[in-house]
Amino acid sequence: GAGVSQSPSNKVTEKGKDVELRCDPISGHTALYWYRQSLGQGLEFLIYFQGNSAPDKSGLPSDRFSAERTGGSVSTLTIQRTQQEDSAVYLCASSSAGTDYNSPLHFGNGTRLTVT
Amino acid sequence: RKEVEQDPGPFNVPEGATVAFNCTYSNSASQSFFWYRQDCRKEPKLLMSVYSSGNEDGRFTAQLNRASQYISLLIRDSKLSDSATYLCVVILSGSARQLTFGSGTQLTVLP
């Protein structure tokens, strides 16, 4: 079946511009996560959506970052006034878990963001 | 101290070798454990869950030592296709933020 889909796969933007990254989770998955991964580094948690509950935004690094999830499905991560340190691979993952985190995460291919 | 620590490697082993990785975690209340693998410039993919009694999946064996707060992954008869970065994941209950990834151990299997 279809996996997690992310777009664009690559994005090059100038410093100061806004970018939007899209994630289409696996159908029926109620949990959706955004992570970012810098070159050679581990995954950094950004935000978590679970059903209709208020999202856990505790990982967002600054107020330039925001995310929404419409209709419990597609999610958009927005970065305003991009900075060079925002350059990373942004990974989206979904899971069929409710509040049980034992269900594994299924990752998309990621969006490679380069801020010049 | 990091919540989840892994030896970054790289581990370079010949084909057919047995190799083991450890991952230590700092919070004794951690409840769930997984191993993921990540190929170069690809997304992480679940390799296996780690159960309290230890579990095996083909050439891969995962073990949990709660007393010493580490999990391990053993790969027997290494294949070239096993070359990847192996990430351990530790989960606390109560918050998505407590789903913590290690920074990974890089394995290269040499012909």
Question: What confidence tens digit (pLDDT) does each residue in B28-41 have?
Answer: 888 789 999 999 98
Contact predicate B85/B107, CB 8 Å: yes
* pLDDT of amino acid A35: 95
CA distance B107 to B6: 12
* pLDDT of amino acid B85: 95
- Closest-CA distance of chain B to residue A57, Å: 9
* pLDDT of amino acid A81: 98
Work out the number of other CB atoms within 10 angstroms of the CB of residue A59: 17
* DSSP-assigned letter for residue A85: G
Q: Residues of A at the B interface (Cβ-Cβ below 8 Å)?
A: 31, 33, 35, 41-43, 45, 48, 50, 56, 58-59, 91, 101-102, 104-110
Is the pLDDT assigned to residue B98 strictly greater than 70?
no
Higher pLDDT, B9 or B55: B55
Is the pLDDT assigned to residue A99 strictly greater than 60?
no
A32 contacts: CB under 8 Å, gap ≥ 6: A23, A25, A48, A49, A50, A69, A75, A92, A93, A94
Residues of B in contact with A50 (CB under 8 A): 96
> Per the structure block, which two tokens stand in for A91?
């990974």
For the segment B12-38, the average pLDDT, to the nearest whole number, is: 92
- Closest-CA distance of chain A to residue B93, Å: 7
CA distance A57 to B43: 22
Contact predicate A72/A64, CB 8 Å: no
Please, what is the average pLDDT of chain A?
A: 91
**Which is nearest to B101 in space by CA: A101, A10, A108?**
A101
The reply to whether residue B103 touches residue A42, judged by beta carbons under 8 angstroms, is yes
Question: What confidence tens digit (pLDDT) does each residue in A50-71 have?
Answer: 888 889 898 999 999 999 998 8
A34 beta partners? A47, A92
**Which is nearest to A102 in space by CA: B80, B30, B42, B63?**
B30
Question: What confidence tens digit (pLDDT) does each residue in A12-45 have?
Answer: 999 999 999 999 999 989 889 999 999 877 889 9
